[in-house]
Structure 1
Amino acid sequence: MLEMLLQWYRRRFSDPEAIALLVILAAGFCILFFFSGLLAPLLVALVLAYLLEWPTARLERVGCSRSWAASIVLVMFVGILLLLAFVVAPVAWQQGIYLVRDMPGMFNRLAEFAAALPRRYPALVDAGIIDAMAENARARMTTMGESVVKYSVASLVGLLTLAIYLVLVPLMVFFLVKDKEQMLNAVRRVLPRNRGLAGQVWAEMNQQITNYIRGKALEMVIVGVATYIGFLISGLNYSLLLAVLVGFSVLIPYIGAFMVTLPVIGVALFQFGLGTDFWTCFIIYLVIQALDGNLLVPVLFSEAVNLHPLVIILAVVIFGGLWGFWGVFFAIPLATLIKAVARAWPDSPPQIQTPLT
């Protein structure tokens, strides 16, 4: 047994480049695990820098200097964000207030519908279970209201943090895009010299992360706009708010789509009942989700869809538990990183020395 372990160790860790890759991965994991809260603004800036690198490079190709290209792209990006903040955000916020106001009525309608189920289907539904579920839901609604008040008070403390983000993140994005090569050279000087294997994995993952971030941003916009148009056509209330939620749900593979479906169904049932309008709205929503999963995602993430759905779900659960939102957001790239490392890791059998004759 010991000899087998020694052979496995020699086969896997005899290459100095493999040791260098292991050290880099371990150091990166420790930094993110212990300092993820402090590095949150930098992570936001890195994501935005990846997103803005493509238009910056295109402006460079037409003759702009790197500084001018980064400045133009950042100003345009901030302008788009301000447009969304002053046009989309107020409407979505107002619809959210209306939705919270109407939630007791929605709950009462749902309770009436659930209470009628034992009479309609006495062999399938137990009245005691329905009453227990309704009582549990009422208790949760009460505690939810108290939590909302506490969160609103606590969120006042976070306004200062948000203000810092609004100032620091754009500055970091500008310098990350403008001085990209200088910063990469500085990082290379810190890394071990025997990093050929790490460079191979980085080259693959850099392209993967670039495509993933751009693809996610594009998917959010396409799915959100298509959902908003579909909800407008069906006449669903809170259409903009629900479309924004559906757009953000693509950040969490599989789980996000399931979670956002519940409020969509709840609002549609409250507004339309189980009539034709409800099924029309629900079918439109299902068609958008089906096109997203079977057409848009394979086109935008041709490499990522090579991962098995179970692997993606496990990656979301594991990395989300480790790093929260950022673990969920980067679950697919991190799973792809593990796959790339496993594929690139050397597997050379130990050399057998022959006795001298």
Structure 2
Amino acid sequence: MLNVLLNWYRRRFSDPNAVTLFWLLVGGFAVIYFYGDILAPVLAALVIAYLLEWFVQRLIKIGLGRSSATTLVLLVFIGLMLLIGFGILPAVFRQGMTLVKTGPVMLANGTEYLKKLPQHYPDFFDASLVDSITAVIQDRLVNNSGVLVSFSFTSLMNIAVVLVYMVLVPLLIFFMLKDKEHLLLMMKRFLPNNRELANRVWLEMNDQITNYIRGKVIHILAVSAANYVVFAFMGINYALLLGISVGCSVLIPYIGAVAVTIPVTVVALFQWGLSSDFAYLMLAYAIVQTLDANILTPLLFSETMNLHPIAIILAVLVFGGLWGFWGVFFAIPLATLVKAVVNSWPGSTRTEASIGSY
């Protein structure tokens, strides 16, 4: 057994470039795992810098200097964020508070409906089971009400942190974009010389991460806008809140679409009941979801379509459990990184015939 392990180690780690890549990956994962909370503004700034780099490059091509292009792009970005912050978010917050206030009424109507089911369908529903379900729902509501109160106080305590981030993150973005080449050269000075394999993986992942972040932002905006238009046209309550919720659900592949369908269905049922309006809304919602899954998502993320759905779900669960929001956001690029490392690792290549034999 020991000889087998030693042979495997020599075969996989005989190349110094592979050892360098291994320790770089271990070090990077360890830093983010143990210091992720401290580095949160740096990670947020890095993501936004990746997003804005495309616009900076376009302005440089038309003759602007990098400093001027960075300043212009960052000012436009801050203006858009202020527009969203003062124009859209207050309306979303108001709709969210209204929905929270009407939650107990919706729950009461739902429990009353459940209690009537054994009377109308005695062969399918047991009265004691329905009573148990309603008791559990009411108990969870009482517990969650306390959680909401504590969450509101916690949110007030975090306002100072948000204000600091509002100043710190734009500064980080500006210097990441303005001094990009200098920062990359400075980082290379601390890397080992045997980094050919690491450079190859980095070049492959750099383009994919850039395309992924830009595509994900476009995806969220497009899905939010499309669902808001459908909800507003159909006249459902909380159209803006639900539309943005559906858009943000694309951050979690497969799972998010299922989870966000529940509040959409509950709000529609509470507003219309089992009527034709409810059926039309759910049909329109299903059409939008189908167009997103079959047209928009493959168009924006064609490079990630080679990942199996099970691999994507596992990546969301594993990396989300390790790093929370950022793990979920970067689940697909991280899964792609694992795949790229496995494919590039010495001794891991397979012929097409051997792959096809599985």
TM-score, normalised on structure 1? 0.96
What is the Cα deviation at residue 129 of structure 1?
Answer: 1.7
Cross-structure match for 2:278: 278
Cross-structure match for 1:202: 202
Structure 1 stretch 22-31 or stretch 340-349: which is displaced more?
340-349
What is the Cα deviation at residue 112 of structure 1?
Answer: 2.1
What is the Cα deviation at residue 118 of structure 1?
Answer: 2.2
Structure 1 stretch 247-256 or stretch 118-127: which is displaced more?
118-127
Runs of at least 5 residues in structure 2 that lack an aligned partner in the other structure = 350-358
Counterpart-to-counterpart distance in 1, 2:327 and 2:29: 12
* SS at 1:192 equivalent: coil
Counterpart amino acid of residue 345 in structure 2: W
Counterpart amino acid of residue 328 in structure 1: V
- 1:72 to 1:236, Cα distance in 2 relative to 1, 3 A: same
Counterpart amino acid of residue 147 in structure 2: S
* SS at 1:224 equivalent: helix
Counterpart-to-counterpart distance in 2, 1:190 and 1:224: 43
Q: Is 1:217 aligned with 2:217?
A: yes
> In the TM superposition, what whole-angstrom CA distance separates every residue of 1:203-251 from its partner, at most 9, and x where no partner exists?
0111111111001000000000000000011110000011111111111
Q: Which of 1 and 2 has higher RCO (CA within 8 Å, sep 6+)?
A: 1
Q: Is 1:117 aligned with 2:94?
A: no
Counterpart amino acid of residue 216 in structure 2: K
Counterpart-to-counterpart distance in 2, 1:14 and 1:77: 48
Cross-structure match for 2:290: 290
Counterpart-to-counterpart distance in 2, 1:301 and 1:118: 48
Runs of at least 5 residues in structure 1 that lack an aligned partner in the other structure = 350-357
Cross-structure match for 1:145: 145
Cross-structure match for 2:6: 6
1:1-357 matched pairs, under 5 angstroms:
1-347=1-347
What is the Cα deviation at residue 56 of structure 1?
Answer: 0.5
* SS at 1:324 equivalent: helix
What is the Cα deviation at residue 6 of structure 1?
Answer: 2.3
Where do 4+ consecutive residues of structure 1 move more than 6 Å?
none
> In the TM superposition, what whole-angstrom CA distance separates every residue of 1:135-187 from its partner, at most 9, and x where no partner exists?
11111111111111111112222111101100000000011111111111111
Counterpart-to-counterpart distance in 2, 1:18 and 1:153: 49
What is the Cα deviation at residue 348 of structure 1?
Answer: 7.9
Counterpart-to-counterpart distance in 1, 2:156 and 2:230: 36
Counterpart-to-counterpart distance in 2, 1:125 and 1:344: 57
Counterpart-to-counterpart distance in 2, 1:137 and 1:325: 28
8 Å Cα contact 1:45-1:173 kept in structure 2: yes
> In the TM superposition, what whole-angstrom CA distance separates every residue of 1:86-127 from its partner, at most 9, and x where no partner exists?
111111111112111111111112112222222333232222
Counterpart-to-counterpart distance in 2, 1:203 and 1:85: 35
Counterpart-to-counterpart distance in 2, 1:238 and 1:257: 18
Counterpart-to-counterpart distance in 2, 1:30 and 1:171: 26
What is the Cα deviation at residue 85 of structure 1?
Answer: 1.1
Counterpart-to-counterpart distance in 1, 2:208 and 2:325: 19
Counterpart amino acid of residue 185 in structure 2: N
8 Å Cα contact 1:11-1:348 kept in structure 2: no
**RMSD over aligned Cα, in angstroms?**
1.2
Counterpart amino acid of residue 208 in structure 2: Q
- 1:320 to 1:15, Cα distance in 2 relative to 1, 3 A: same
What is the Cα deviation at residue 128 of structure 1?
Answer: 1.6
- Aligned-pair identity in percent equals 51
> In the TM superposition, what whole-angstrom CA distance separates every residue of 1:32-62 from its partner, at most 9, and x where no partner exists?
1110010000000000000001011000000
Counterpart-to-counterpart distance in 1, 2:163 and 2:300: 33
Cross-structure match for 1:353: none
Counterpart amino acid of residue 49 in structure 1: A
* SS at 2:302 equivalent: coil
Structure 1 stretch 3-12 or stretch 164-173: which is displaced more?
3-12
> In the TM superposition, what whole-angstrom CA distance separates every residue of 1:255-296 from its partner, at most 9, and x where no partner exists?
111111111011000001010000111111111111111111
8 Å Cα contact 2:342-2:348 kept in structure 1: no
* SS at 1:125 equivalent: coil
Counterpart-to-counterpart distance in 1, 2:173 and 2:258: 33
8 Å Cα contact 1:219-1:296 kept in structure 2: yes
8 Å Cα contact 2:228-2:239 kept in structure 1: yes
Q: How many residues align?
A: 349
